[in-house]
Amino acid sequence: MSMLGMTLMNEIINKQPDIDPKELLNELRNQIIITLHQKGDPGSAKDGMDIVVCKINRKTLNMQFAGANNSLYHIRDGKLTEYKTDKMPVSIHLVMKPFKGQQIQLKKGDAIYLYSDGYADQFGGPEGKKFKYRALKELLVSNWDKAMHSQELLLDNSFENWKGDMEQIDDVVIIGLRF
């Protein structure tokens, strides 16, 4: 699904380089539905994507974004703000409203984090439970001011320690951006 999504996104962006993130997700959903012949029939496959797409003006530090099921974390001066996105995947779904866009006026020193659900959903720890989003937020806030490479190592070590001998259940992606 990721490969298909990236291929379709590249085609859309090549045709419309200035496309708004919400319109990109709307068009991506249309293309996925067409490509996978999704009809929404009961019992049929409903493969889709959870994603956040950002468009950042590097001169003005204005960031536009839209998302499907995943939130975006913004940390400024050690305070985390969670921006929730639309609660629907990029695919056929029971409720298919147009994706909504949001924007943030970033400042120098801000950090943005985009992520898959794999980190928070990983089982581990002394009781074999999920890591959860609250713990992920606390981990990000406690380390947000460190160099991005240091954060990468801390996140990786924390994940491996939490997981222990348990099997990794999903892909894990965390992207951090500092301005």
Average pLDDT, consecutive stretches of 10 residues, N- to C-terminus, the chain (179 residues): 90 96 97 86 74 96 97 98 96 91 98 96 97 98 97 98 96 96
Q: Give pTM, 2 decimals.
A: 0.91
Q: Which residues lie below 8 Å from residue 50, measured CB to CB, with a gap of 6+? A: 67, 68, 69, 70, 89, 90, 116, 117
Q: What are the backbone dihedrals phi and psi of residue 57, each rounded to the nearest 5 degrees, phi first?
A: -90, 110
**CA dist., res. 1 & res. 51, Å (int):** 12
Q: What is the pLDDT of residue 2?
A: 83
Q: What is the pLDDT of residue 93?
A: 87
Question: All domains of the chain, ordered by start, with CATH?
Answer: 2-178 (3.60.40.10)
**CA dist., res. 10 & res. 124, Å (int):** 36
72-76 vs 62-68, strand pairing mode:
unpaired
129-130 vs 123-124, strand pairing mode:
antiparallel
Alpha-carbon separation of residue 178 from 14, 91, 158 (angstroms): 27, 31, 21
Q: What is the pLDDT of residue 44?
A: 66
Q: Which residue has the tokens 């530090």?
A: 61
Cα angle: 174, vertex 97, 55; to 5 degrees: 40
Q: What is the pLDDT of residue 95?
A: 81
Residue closest to 100 by CA, chosen among 130, 64, 125: 64
Q: What is the pLDDT of residue 24?
A: 97
Q: What is the pLDDT of residue 103?
A: 97
